[in-house]
Amino acid sequence: MKNSSDILSIAKETLLSQSNAIANLANLLNNSFINAVNFILNSKGRVIVTGIGKSANIASKIVATLNSTGTPAVFMHAADAIHGDLGNVQQNDTVICISKSGNTPEIKVLVPLIKNSNNKIIAITGNPDSFLGKSADFLLNSYVEKEVCPNNLAPTSSTTAQLVLGDALAVCLLELRGFTSSDFAKYHPGGALGKRLYLRVSDLVKNNELPKVNISDPLTRVIIEISEKRLGVTAVVDKNGSIVGIITDGDIRRMLAKTTKINELIANDIMSKNPKTIHIDAMAIDALDALENNSITQILAIDDSNKYVGVVHLHDLIKEGIF
């Protein structure tokens, strides 16, 4: 029976073996990879990615990566392709065919059909001398010396190699297209990732109260404002409505611990001057950075005229899944 040390040893050996296999792929890259990237970049069609078995699973992931980074792609299972799904391949589409051996029966049937339609084939295979390797217009060599599986049977290192080559294609295309984080946000509007890319301070503060007191307001007024607006903070403004300070519930507790002359205190006595602010058009992720960098839980939002327009609370960021 394996003990804890054995388990960790196996896991480390697995990771190191796969990392070495991936590192070796860099030595296998050649002009065929460059030509494949440029062909896809200049193509008017989509990228159809196909495979059989575990390679089909990798094909599906590559499709997801391409679609999310600006290259339209469609998954087509090789077995289904020869039973009707070949209709997915349109005139200007490029087909990426994935197979470790390059000699599976489905691939041998599928490749000639694609070639007959004058579609270009990019092969990702660990066997350049295979049927697929020799038939492809562009060859990406995914050769690995052995699978990390102790029996050298289960697709492990080979599928990792296929996936990494797919990522390399996607990243090259992304860079050449000038694909930016704003473009990325268009394809990822949902979830925490999307919100990090498009959610702004204005989206966070619009549903919050606007706590504020005048610089000469008594402590009782400050406490009421903070309690009623339920953000744990209030801005302090002068007669022109400009921000001159900030008071948190923590400031009040600390002040009460120092004095019992509550009736004599005004906002000016308690407030912290020159509070941190953030522009309302700033990204929500920038607000999070500001909170973390300054070890605070609230920050005041301002507009172009430096007018106080709201409060961003750490809870807002947590609620949106950004923190």
pLDDT digits (tens, 9 = 90+) for 29-67: 999 999 999 999 999 999 999 999 999 999 999 999 999
Q: Indicate whether 180 pLDDT > 80.
A: no
Q: pLDDT at position 173, please?
A: 96
Residues 259-268 have a mean pLDDT of: 81
Q: pLDDT at position 182, please?
A: 67
Q: pLDDT at position 199, please?
A: 83
Q: Indicate whether 258 pLDDT > 90.
A: no
Q: Indicate whether 274 pLDDT > 80.
A: yes
Q: Indicate whether 119 pLDDT > 70.
A: yes
> What is the DSSP code string of 15-50?
HHHHHHHHHHHHHH--HHHHHHHHHHHH-SS-EEEE
Q: What CA–CA distance (Å, rounded) separates 82 from 86? A: 6
Q: pLDDT at position 306, please?
A: 87
Q: pLDDT at position 211, please?
A: 95
Among 19-33, 141-155, 195-209, the minimum mean pLDDT is found in 195-209
pLDDT category of residue 179 using cuts at 50, 70 and 90:
confident
Kindly give, in sequence order, each residue whose CB lies less than 8 Å from that of residue 223, ignoring residues fewer than 6 positions away.
252
Nearest partner of 167 among 75, 25, 76, 61, judged by Cα: 61
Q: pLDDT at position 24, please?
A: 94
pLDDT digits (tens, 9 = 90+) for 81-117: 988 899 999 999 999 999 999 999 999 999 999 999 9
pLDDT digits (tens, 9 = 90+) for 195-242: 666 789 999 999 899 999 999 999 989 999 999 999 999 999 988 888
- Domains of the chain, with CATH numbers? 4-179 (3.40.50.10490), 201-319 (3.10.580.10)
pLDDT category of residue 323 using cuts at 50, 70 and 90:
confident
With contact defined as beta carbons under 8 Å apart, do 300 and 246 qualify?
A: yes
Q: pLDDT at position 40, please?
A: 97
Residues 274-288 have a mean pLDDT of: 92
Q: pLDDT at position 191, please?
A: 59
Q: What CA–CA distance (Å, rounded) separates 315 from 323? A: 9
Neighbours of 83 (CB within 10 A): 9
pLDDT category of residue 192 using cuts at 50, 70 and 90:
low
Query: What's the helix, strand, coil split of the chain in %, to 5?
Result: 50, 20, 30
Q: Indicate whether 259 pLDDT > 90.
A: no
Q: pLDDT at position 193, please?
A: 62
Q: What CA–CA distance (Å, rounded) separates 264 from 273? A: 20
